[in-house]
């Protein structure tokens, strides 16, 4: 059996497993990102990562590469091996059959179908299990999966782009382009990672966006387009209707004119009736989307949607691109409008902040506190 090394060595191998897991970012939903590394006699003999939902898990790829060398070896896995039959057989069983001597995991799987059962299966077979190596890094890796699997609601990422004085459009409504080309490329890389992309009807009417992923030299994944349009005002000529490169869901209320709803459906988009009332209830909408295994939604809406989301505490993560430009004008649109707050102590707070310079633009990212 592989000798147990020092803590730093364990972290090095787990860090390799975490790096492998990231190769599949944006491709495994609603499954987690998982990487695995098999080590024997001080060298890596097998490694792998979960590449897509419904395909073999990371442990299976690593075992296939290791072959007979897996017997008595140590495997480092970023998430507890599964113990149940889903679209693929249980990984814990495969590890036992391969003769793995020790399993080191970063974190236990919160999925009720697993939830410690994989660890118990391994220990019942006489295999030593160590957990908690780089646990925080593993949690951050799977922030989308963890929220969805525990709440069945999607992880919400809000992105906005503004000038240095906080404007997302001029007083005439002109907004293209606030940020530079490199920042816009980054946004498309973000779109490539998430299941859905959401805007309000105001954005559709003003900009007629396609909301697809466009990456130079790379075929990106298009997220499902979600339009919040209470009265079904989306034009039949809008790109989100005519461009069938991606699926489109238009969320309306029961007050939406039936003739408009049917016309949109006939055009090939899905119309989702969310609730009664004048406006789409975003909480109900997100619950309905989460039930469809849409585990993450990238928000590129305007000032009204942005404020609704933060005021209802529906945002998990925020990306703010700031361009070194000044627009001015009391009628120029800001990133968050709505009624606003009266006292600064009631301001919406962010934490775990990160800042990055992108060819002169500034990207500030953080999590809702």
Name the active-site residue from 2, 41, 59, 185.
Answer: 59
Does 160 count as an annotated binding residue? no
59 is catalytic: yes
Question: Annotated binding residue at 260?
Answer: no
Q: Which residues of 11-30 are buried (b: 16+ CB within 10 A; e: fewer)?
A: bebbbbbbebbeebebbbbb
Q: Is 82 annotated as a binding residue?
A: yes
Residues in the chain: 369
How many secondary structure helices (H) and strands (E) does the chain include?
12, 16
- Is residue 57 marked as binding? yes
Angle at 342 between CA 337 and CA 346, to 5 degrees: 90
191 marked as part of a ligand binding site: yes
Token output for 211: 């909301």
Contact call for residues 217 and 193 (beta carbons, < 8 A) = no
Q: How far apart are CA 270 and CA 249, in angstroms?
A: 5
> Is 305 marked as binding a ligand?
yes
Sheet holding 128-131, edge to edge: 43-49, 35-40, 74-77, 102-105, 128-131
Whether residue 91 is annotated as binding a ligand: the answer is yes
Q: Is 287 annotated as a binding residue?
A: no
Any known ligand binding at 302?
A: yes
Surface-to-core class of residue 41, CB atoms within 10 Å of its CB (0-12 exposed, 13-18 middle, 19+ buried): exposed
Q: Is 213 annotated as a binding residue?
A: no
Q: Is 183 annotated as a binding residue?
A: no
* Residue of 58, 33, 40 lying closest to 48 (CA atoms): 58
Q: Is position 267 annotated in a ligand binding site?
A: no
Q: Say if strands 43-49 and 35-40 run parallel, antiparallel, or are unpaired.
A: antiparallel
Q: Is 87 annotated as a binding residue?
A: no
Instruction: With beta carbons less than 8 A apart as the criterion, state whether 98 and 73 touch.
Output: no
306 marked as part of a ligand binding site: yes
230 is in an annotated binding site: yes
Residue partners of 218: CB distance under 8 A and separation at least 6: none
| Binding-site residue set for substrate | 175, 191, 203, 211, 214, 300
| Binding-site residue set | 57, 82, 91, 161, 175, 177, 191, 203, 207, 211, 214, 230, 300, 302-308
| Binding-site residue set for NADP(+) | 161, 177, 207, 230, 302-308
| Binding-site residue set for Zn(2+) | 57, 82, 91
Q: Give catalytic residue positions.
A: 59
């Amino acid at each position: 059996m592989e000798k147990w090394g020092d803590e730093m060595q364990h972290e090095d191998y787990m860090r390799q497993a975490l790096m492998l897991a990231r190769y599949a970012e944006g491709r495994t939903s609603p499954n987690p990102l998982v990487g695995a590394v098999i080590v024997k006699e001080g060298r890596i003999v097998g490694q792998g990562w979960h590449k897509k939902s419904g395909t073999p898990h990371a442990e299976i790829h690593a075992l296939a590469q290791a072959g007979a060398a897996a017997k008595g070896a140590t495997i480092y896995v970023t998430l507890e091996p599964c113990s149940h039959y889903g679209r693929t057989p249980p990984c814990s069983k495969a590890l036992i059959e391969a003769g793995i001597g020790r399993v080191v995991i970063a974190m236990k799987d919160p999925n009720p179908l697993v939830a410690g059962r994989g660890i118990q299966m391994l220990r019942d077979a006489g295999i030593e299990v160590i957990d908690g190596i780089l646990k925080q890094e593993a949690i951050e890796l799977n922030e989308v999966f963890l929220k969805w699997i525990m709440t069945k609601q999607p992880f919400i990422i809000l992105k906005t782009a503004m000038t240095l004085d906080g404007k997302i459009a001029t007083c005439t409504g002109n907004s293209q382009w606030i940020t530079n080309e490199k920042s816009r490329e980054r946004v498309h890389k973000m779109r490539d990672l998430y299941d859905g992309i959401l805007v309000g009807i105001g954005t559709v009417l003003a900009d007629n966006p396609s909301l697809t992923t466009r990456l130079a030299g790379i075929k990106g994944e298009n997220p499902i387009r979600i339009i919040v349009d209470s009265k079904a005002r989306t034009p039949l000529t809008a790109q989100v209707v005519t461009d069938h490169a991606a699926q489109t869901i238009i969320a309306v209320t029961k007050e939406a004119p039936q003739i408009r709803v049917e016309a949109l459906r006939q055009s090939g988009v899905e119309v989702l009736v969310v609730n009664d009332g004048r406006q789409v209830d975003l909480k109900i909408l997100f619950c309905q989307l989460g039930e469809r295994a849409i585990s993450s939604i990238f928000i590129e809406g305007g000032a009204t949607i942005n404020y609704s989301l933060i005021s209802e505490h529906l945002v998990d993560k925020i990306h703010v691109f700031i361009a070194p430009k000044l627009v001015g004008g009391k009628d120029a649109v800001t990133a968050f409008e709505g009624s606003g707050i009266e006292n600064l102590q009631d301001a919406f707070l962010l934490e775990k902040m990160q800042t990055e310079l992108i060819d002169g633009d500034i990207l500030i990212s953080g999590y809702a506190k």
